[in-house]
Amino acid sequence: MEDLKLPGIDYGALLPMLILFGAACVGILIEVFTPRRTRHPIQLGLGLVAIVAAFVAVVVQHSTRKITIGGAVAIDGPTVFLQGAILVLGLVSLMLIGERSVERGGPFVSQAAITVGSQKDLKQAGDQPGMTEVYPLTLFALGGMMLFVAANDLLTMFIALEVFSLPLYLLCALARRRRLLSQEAALKYFLLGSYASAFFLFGVALVYGFAGGISLGQVHDAVVNPQRSQILLYAGLAMIAIGLLFKAALAPFHVWTPDVYQGAPTPVTALMAAVTKVAAFGALLRILYVAFDGVRWDFQPVLGAIAVLTMLVGAVLAVTQTDMKRLLAYSSVANAGYLLVGVLALNEEGLSGTMFYLVAYGFSVLAAFGMVTLVRDADGEATHLARWAGLGRKSPLFAATFTFILLAFAGIPLTSGFTSKFAVFGAAVEGGQTWLVIFGVVTSMLLAFPYLRVVVMLWLSEPGESTPTVSIPGFLTSAALVIGVAATFALGVVPAPLIDLTRDAAQFVR
């Protein structure tokens, strides 16, 4: 029998992920060994420290360009950049998740297993401290996302997909209020997500049959110099794409988005909208640019059609929404379409533009959902749009900040929304995809309307009897909001440093 030999492992390059997974495991032990009262500060502190430490490790590794553990993980420019983005955005999400002062006990349920509507449930909705398992779950999710964008073979990518998806399914179900909605959202997300994973895995099998290997480099070689039936290639690529398009919330695989975004606890929604997008698009970029670059002429029109469909669906349906979280969900669908336009440029500008967009959009959307958590009445968050009427009169600072974020979503200059749109559209025109840009511009016009409607609602409508109050954010939420808004402004006014960073990072290793 042949001796099993461990491949060479560059622990330094893997350190950021190891830190997160390690901290997540420690978090589980904390759940077991520490008394309930003290868990929240310990877990939160551990999570924040772990993310900061992982970020430091990423920064230290910033010039590493190598493939390690037997070809399973590639550390290159996009990996380092996207991992950094995941960590920074994840840190801000964790601040929102850790907020306990806006709502007594925090946004999470204390015991998820209690029957909804029972006496016990009413009691726990009142003041019992929320679950602290959310912190290890979040860390696992973030670690999985970091592996996802670094995966250099299809199986590693699949494992990473599951590692970050499963915690997200759970997190969706843990809302303290509106628990049925939350559980339904989690179930929906789980079922559809499982299908998507299954498609992905089947696609991997077909591509393995085609290429005789699962590493992206082998697939690339096989695509350039095909030995077997190309049907395997196309069917496999299509199925892998379905799995990724689902995670990225691209039409027609977006149907889960509004329900899940609405049902999940709002800080988790923020995490999904900002960080999961980075992970999903990071993997999509790697798959398309590294493995399937050779058949770009075949998938470009198909994915182009999907981008157009996504932008149209997101923009048109956003117009009709009456719930703030659903509106933001459809707007994030439309934004996924713009991101795909950047991906389809299939040049270095497209890569850097997409990465810029992911970071810029992540900060804005975190701020947006962070602010949604603040508008509340006795029953928790008041997300119905009609309820927001006249908030500008009652809370001018809040309304002004939210207006600024909406202007960023609408792509008005001096916000990051404008620069990022400019970056991806410019790259797409350069890459010969002018038709996508035209659709992008047309849908931007449509999409401006719902944002404007909210602005009108905030400022120009008279406040009603039922206008909810804006809670005073605690330290963590305030910090998250300041970071999100400041980044949205800074990336609109002085985007040059981040653009340069993405340009330096825009080179995959194969």
Partner 1 sequence: MNDFPFLSILTLLPLVGAIAVAFIPRAKAELAKTVAFVWSLVVLVLSVFMWIAFQVDGDRFQFRESYAWIPSWDARFTFAADGIALVMLMLIAILFPVVILASWNDVEKTNRSAPVYFSLLLAFEFTMIGVFAAADVFLFYVFFEVMLIPMYFIIGSFGGPRRQYAAVKFFLYSLVGGLFMLAAVIGLWVVGGNTFDWAKLAEAAGSIDQNTARWLFLGFFVAFAIKAPFFPFHTWLPDAGGAAPAGAAALLVGVMDKVGTFGILRYCLSLFPEASRWFAPAALVLGVIGIIYAALLAVGQNDLKRLVSYTSIAHFGFIGIGIFAFTSQAGTGSVLYMVNHGLATGLLFIVVGMFVARRGSNLISDFGGAGKLVPVLAGVFFFAGLASLALPGTAPFISEFLVLIGTFTVHPAYAVVATAGIILAAAYVLWMVQRTTQGTLNPALAEVPEMKKDITLREKVVVAPLILLIILLGFYPKPVTDVINPAVQATMQDVNVEDPGPTAVVANERVAR
Omega of the bond prior to 495 within 30 degrees of 0, cis?
no
The smaller minimum CB distance to partner 1, of residues 16 and 342, is found at 342
Contact with partner 1 (CB under 8 A) among 155, 323, 430, 474 = 430
Contact with partner 1 (CB under 8 A) among 90, 157, 495, 508 = 495
The smaller minimum CB distance to partner 1, of residues 353 and 473, is found at 353
- Could you give the CA distance from residue 108 to residue 267 in angstroms, rounded to a whole number? 10
Tokens of 502: 């993405």
CB 492 within 8 A of CB 418: yes
Contact with partner 1 (CB under 8 A) among 9, 122, 319, 445 = 445
Tokens of 273: 């909208």
CA angle 54, 275, 134 (to 5 degrees): 75
Identify which range of 124-132, 198-206, 219-227, 424-432 contacts partner 1 by CB under 8 A: 424-432
**Least distance (Å) from partner 1 to the CB of residue 414?**
6
Which of 241, 236, 244, 239 has its CA nearest to residue 207?
A: 236
Per CB under 8 A, contacts with partner 1 among 446-485 are: 448-449, 452, 456, 459-460
The smaller minimum CB distance to partner 1, of residues 444 and 467, is found at 444
CB 242 within 8 A of CB 202: no
x/- letters, 369..408, toward partner 1 (CB under 8 A): --------------------------------------x-
Contact with partner 1 (CB under 8 A) among 185, 336, 437, 470 = 437
Please compute, for residue 332, the number of CA atoms within 13 A of its CA located in the half-sphere on the CB side.
38
Contact with partner 1 (CB under 8 A) among 159, 187, 414, 479 = 414
- Could you give the CA distance from residue 175 to residue 261 in angstroms, rounded to a whole number? 12
Give the other-Cβ count within 10 Å of 384's Cβ: 13
Which of 60, 69, 82 has its CA nearest to residue 11?
A: 69
- Could you give the CA distance from residue 13 to residue 24 in angstroms, rounded to a whole number? 19
The smaller minimum CB distance to partner 1, of residues 203 and 440, is found at 440
The smaller minimum CB distance to partner 1, of residues 34 and 434, is found at 434
- The answer for residues whose C-beta is within 8 angstroms of residue 4's C-beta and 6 or more apart is none
CB 343 within 8 A of CB 285: yes
The smaller minimum CB distance to partner 1, of residues 173 and 505, is found at 505
**Least distance (Å) from partner 1 to the CB of residue 229?**
39
**Least distance (Å) from partner 1 to the CB of residue 412?**
6
**Least distance (Å) from partner 1 to the CB of residue 188?**
34
Contact with partner 1 (CB under 8 A) among 25, 29, 302, 496 = 496
With CB under 8 A, what is the number of residues at the site for partner 1?
A: 32
The smaller minimum CB distance to partner 1, of residues 255 and 412, is found at 412
Identify which range of 8-16, 163-171, 175-183, 421-429 contacts partner 1 by CB under 8 A: 421-429
- The secondary structure of 312-367, three-state, reads HHHHHHHHCCCEHHHHHHHHHHHHHHHHHHHHHCCCHHHHHHHHHHHHHHHHHHHH
Identify which range of 50-58, 70-78, 306-314, 415-423 contacts partner 1 by CB under 8 A: 415-423
Asked if 422 interacts with partner 1 (CB under 8 A), we say: yes
CB 217 within 8 A of CB 71: yes
Give the other-Cβ count within 10 Å of 46's Cβ: 18
Asked if 231 interacts with partner 1 (CB under 8 A), we say: no
CB 309 within 8 A of CB 438: no
Asked if 348 interacts with partner 1 (CB under 8 A), we say: no
Tokens of 500: 């340069």
Contact with partner 1 (CB under 8 A) among 28, 56, 205, 429 = 429
Contact with partner 1 (CB under 8 A) among 43, 61, 444, 488 = 444
- Could you give the CA distance from residue 469 to residue 285 in angstroms, rounded to a whole number? 42
Asked if 486 interacts with partner 1 (CB under 8 A), we say: no
Asked if 122 interacts with partner 1 (CB under 8 A), we say: no
Please compute, for residue 362, the number of CA atoms within 13 A of its CA located in the half-sphere on the CB side.
27
Residues within the interface to partner 1 (CB under 8 A): 407, 410-414, 418-419, 421-422, 425-426, 429-430, 434, 437-438, 441, 444-445, 448-449, 452, 456, 459-460, 494-496, 499-500, 503
